Amino acid sequence: MIKKINIKDLQEGMYIILPKNWFAHPFLKNEFVIESQEQINKLLKAGIKEVNIKVEAISGKQNKTTGKEAHQGEPPQEKPKDVRPPELREIIADKKMMPDRKAKLVHQQSIVMMNRLMDNPTAESIQEVKKGVADVVDLILNNDSTNQYLLNITSHDYNTYVHSVNVGVLAISVAKTIFGGSDGHDMHELGAAFFLHDLGKVNIDLNIINKPAALTDEEMAQMRKHPEFGYDLLSRTNQLTEECRNIVLQHHERFDGSGYPLGLKGEDIHPYGRICSLADVFDALNSDRPYRKGLGPFASLKIMKEEMLSHFHKDLFEKFVKLFS
């Protein structure tokens, strides 16, 4: 049974259900058992006045609402879907599938995977996504024809998880041309970091992310926190590799020092961060947005060259352009 109670009546041992929107509360999960007063204090600090609780589903503890012994084991709930779709590996492993179809299906299933991650970014989910991305990375590294089709897929839906896939594919492809078969780079971890670069947006109000107009100064200030939010989330879930650290924090830094959150300049920006910055800007220009249609690859590259070249490492930009030639 679901019951709504005042936050002041919340006690340890109660199984609570929070709003589904990540920006509405400071926890990694929407449903869990309260185990400490510190968790209650976090809810109070977040301004949450009421919560829903499952009165009959408190694992292994006395039910603080009814005074009866709770059911043993985990609370009953629908089994979640696998974050990493099994179809993704099957598609990649199919040697008879034509490259254009394989690219389309890999792109679709990667979007499904990132969508599920954004809905539930736990340590386990991130680990599963890393496994899925490793398969995509191997495909890009070893199958040039499928990689080329992946690069040419145009997305007409612009949201965080589609953007994450597009940037991931683009950035891995750039890294492939630069680092080749070098043993000095963990391409699997690098690919995972590219796919996870915008993970911090799970803590940004969707009304800001999807706003069909220019953001206010206050909204822009909130949006600019997402690299740090991503860093914190990966750190709390023990998934913060060196690759993730550099890419998540630096993908909005600019070569001329005009970026954020740290205002890094030139060689202070890690090469991984520079690669992700290029892919991020290109996809933002090339894809449909809530307030305008995508410009297309040629027009996007033209704007990057004529109006934004100071933002990027010149030699790296030239290598990026060659991906589309």
Domain boundaries, the chain: 1-79, 86-322
In sequence order, what E strands does the chain have?
2-6, 15-17, 31-33, 50-54
Average pLDDT over residues 29-47: 77
C-alpha–C-alpha distance, residues 23 and 26, integer Å = 7
Average pLDDT, the chain: 85
Q: Is the pLDDT of residue 65 over 50?
A: no
DSSP structural state of residue 75:
P
Average pLDDT over residues 125-131: 96
Q: Which pLDDT belongs to residue 72?
A: 36
pLDDT digits (tens, 9 = 90+) for 197-215: 999 999 998 888 888 888 8
Residues above pLDDT 90, as percent of the chain: 61
Q: Which pLDDT belongs to residue 138?
A: 96
The residues with which 52 forms a beta bridge, in sequence order, are 4, 17
SS3 308: coil
pLDDT digits (tens, 9 = 90+) for 258-298: 999 999 999 999 999 999 999 999 999 988 776 778 788 89
Q: Is the pLDDT of residue 102 over 50?
A: yes
Pick the CATH number of 86-322 from 1.10.3720.10, 3.40.50.300, 1.20.140.10, 1.10.3210.10: 1.10.3210.10
CA of 110: how far to CAs of 209, 248, 287, in Å? 21, 19, 17
Q: Is the pLDDT of residue 66 over 60?
A: no
Residues above pLDDT 70, as percent of the chain: 86
Confirm if 196 and 249 have CB atoms less than 8 A apart: no
Q: Is the pLDDT of residue 20 over 80?
A: no
Task: Give the residue among 13, 300, 9 at the shortest CA–CA distance from 155.
Answer: 300
Q: Which pLDDT belongs to residue 63?
A: 45
C-alpha–C-alpha distance, residues 310 and 170, integer Å = 20
Torsion over CA: 302, 308, 311, 313 (sign): positive
Q: Is the pLDDT of residue 70 over 50?
A: no
Instruction: Tell me which amino acid residue 308 is.
Output: M
DSSP result, 220-244: HHHHTTHHHHHHHHHHHTT---HHH
Task: Give the residue among 68, 73, 91, 79 at the shortest CA–CA distance from 139.
Answer: 91
List, in order, residues 6 or more apart from 224 with CB less than 8 Å away. 252, 260, 261
**pLDDT band at residue 64, thresholds of 50, 70 and 90?**
very low
Task: Give the residue among 287, 290, 285 at the shortest CA–CA distance from 305.
Answer: 285
Q: Which pLDDT belongs to residue 181?
A: 67
pLDDT digits (tens, 9 = 90+) for 25-37: 666 566 778 877 8
C-alpha–C-alpha distance, residues 165 and 176, integer Å = 16
CA of 37: how far to CAs of 50, 71, 188, in Å? 16, 23, 40
C-alpha–C-alpha distance, residues 320 and 311, integer Å = 14
Output the pTM of the full model: 0.75
SS3 159: coil
Average pLDDT over residues 121-144: 95
Structure tokens at 318: 């030239």
Q: Which pLDDT belongs to residue 190?
A: 97
Structure tokens at 260: 């954020």
Average pLDDT over residues 30-48: 78
* Cis ω before 261 (30° cut-off from 0): yes
Q: Left if phi > 0, otherwise alpha if psi is -120 to 50, otherwise beta: which for 110? A: alpha
CB-count exposure of residue 121 (10 Å: 0-12, 13-18, 19+): buried
The residues with which 62 forms a beta bridge, in sequence order, are 69
